[in-house]
Structure 1
């Protein structure tokens, strides 16, 4: 599964970035007045302040907090944003990104955004203000304000762990809907007919479960039962999720979980209730974490090559930061279903 290549975009550092002069021009004031409005707003009139802040909002401008730094100077710093550092699913990507960047003399700064757009927006504003040589995002950017700021900054951006036809700049990932469809077809092919999902309430897992449900319906199966739990997901929420599911539909014969930790919780709860896996209940996870192959029974799961994502993201950033053309700008690394004893 490979996404179509899109035309290369020229290097954006030092060209195309929204500047203070652009803000001043839009606001109809002198650059020094715009600077004063942003840095010492008490020294300008309310009318001027409003004009400047409106111009900032319209352009997505974020001021450079590296005082005295030249726009062309390299920081040798790359910022990566992940939803959580508590869950292990992104660790391989972070590790590969760190190592690949270090080979080229760049250091990685890691930020945790959570699963709320407003938190990511605030974090990105801080990151952009320090003008790193690149920004790596987990998932695709959904906030209109965050997207505007990233486009205005002129900093190389790589979105990861997802696919979209409209990336901000560069992208390496895979299709979450394709994962959902493939798992539903996998379970159906193994004779499972009463499917369910236990999933985190984040946007990416939601798209997987929606595609899973659509594929089940297309196969003529009954409506998929869905239990959502807070993200980041845990073993405990997996146990609770299966408990809730069995109260509603005790004849469920297969569960697709949005993470391997959830799947571990589901298997633990099944064992506690005397439900045999896979004889009575098939379980499929997502992530192929290190423990998955060593469970009893071993966990069937969706494998994502997080190391490949990290290495490709690093190469994108280094090429763009050093003025080289990037083509294609979108790389689909795909996924695989690792069939083990739990399904």
Structure 2
């Protein structure tokens, strides 16, 4: 069969004619392959490949009354945590015969636009990062009947939530530094709109410092928690504080790693003069020298679990449910 540029999109009927089967057999070959004999299914797939046929998911779910598409918005694809998270989402969708659409939303406005797109596509479910949304987005989600999972944070979800206890992770990082004898511990944060997963950390940090009788005001912010330039910005801010800082907790491993690089460039010993804890357990954490001590969430489990929750949404027990995927503190050389 020779492919041609016919000027139109190949249809299910075209595939059926080419494979000498019914349109229902073509539909089942893509949507319910277990219903079709293997030889017939392969013949259909070969014809579809030759014709450049792609199943019309919108038409399929309109006919069946159910969408096979999940929409997810992520604030960044620049680090391995979100890569693993999206992989978990994709694997979960694959396991349930669904397709995944991912939109990057760096701002609250972009998140609203993503939600509008998902609702317009009549997706089967929506997955968002965190619970810090624009009021208009919350209103829109409230008026929609589409199941929603908010991930990376726990709390009172609009519908369902999956994540980990950020407050407990902050405590674990603080207590590690304190147990190591550090006495001027700093926190690097990010105070941009839509970053509640970062904003929850300073109050817990201050509380832990007060309990230990240590300074609680050593907090600086960086403009970009996922950018390598932020390490220099953070270190400059820390060195400008009155009195030397001997330990720091960073918002991400990207900031922590870039701070290690900057300390090396300036001749500052890590962890001798300053101990550094990252956040995320990105791939770089275990490969740089000194390797990073870091907070390790479980992003794949969050993504995969979010899809499982969407698939079970019709169950009365699953609505308004929260799932704690836990975290770990991975101790390496930097602290």
Look at both structures and tell me which one has the larger radius of gyration over its CA atoms. 2
Q: 2:135 aligns with which of 140, 144, 149?
A: 144
Deviation, structure 1 residue 342 = 0.7
User: Match for 1:186 among 176, 190, 208?
Assistant: 176
Distance change (3 Å), C-alpha of 1:334 and 1:267: same
* 1:78 matched residue in structure 2: 70
1:235 Cα offset (Å) = 1.7
Q: Determine the structure 2 residue equivalent to 1:122.
A: 113
CA distance in 2 between partners of 1:174 and 1:226 (Å): 23
Shift of 1:93: 1.1
Secondary structure at the aligned position of 2:71 is classed as strand
Deviation, structure 1 residue 89: 2.2
1:266-277 matches, within 5 Å, as: 266-277=259-270
Q: Give unmatched runs, 5+ long, in structure 2.
A: 1-57
Mapped contact 2:93–2:307 kept (Cα < 8 A) = yes
Give unmatched runs, 5+ long, in structure 1: 1-65
Distance 1:219 1:161, change over 3 A: same
CA shift at 1:326, angstroms?
Answer: 4.3
Match of 1:109 among 101, 112, 129: 101
Cα distance per residue 1:37-79 (max 9 Å; x no partner)? xxxxxxxxxxxxxxxxxxxxxxxxxxxxx79985972220000
Measure the CA separation in 1 of the matches of 2:323 and 2:60.
Answer: 37
Indicate how the Cα distance of structure 1 residues 196 and 232 shifts in structure 2: closer, same or farther if over 3 A, else same.
Answer: closer
Cα distance in 1 for residues equivalent to 2:268 and 2:213: 26
Matches within 5 A, 1:292-303: 292-303=285-296
Describe the SS at the equivalent of 1:248.
Answer: coil
Counterpart secondary structure, 2:153 = coil
Residue 171 in structure 1 maps to residue 164 in structure 2? no
Corresponding residue SS for 2:264: helix
- Alpha-carbon distance in structure 1 between the residues aligned to 2:263 and 2:210: 26
Distance in 2 (alpha carbons) for counterparts of 1:296 and 1:106 = 41
Residues 285 and 196 (structure 1 numbering): CA distance in 2 closer, same or farther, change over 3 Å? same
Q: Hey, what's the Cα distance between the residues in 1 that align with 2:241 and 2:138? A: 41
Give the structure, 1 or 2, with the largest relative contact order (CA under 8 Å, sep 6 or more): 1
List aligned pairs for 1:165-314, cutoff 5 A: 166-201=156-191, 202-249=195-242, 251-314=244-307
Matched residue pairs, number?
274
Q: What residue is the counterpart of 2:327 in the other structure?
A: 335
Query: Any conservation in 2 of the 1:101–1:108 contact (CA below 8 Å)?
Result: yes
Matched residue, 2:147: 156
**CA gap 1:73/1:241 in 2 versus in 1, 3 angstroms:** same
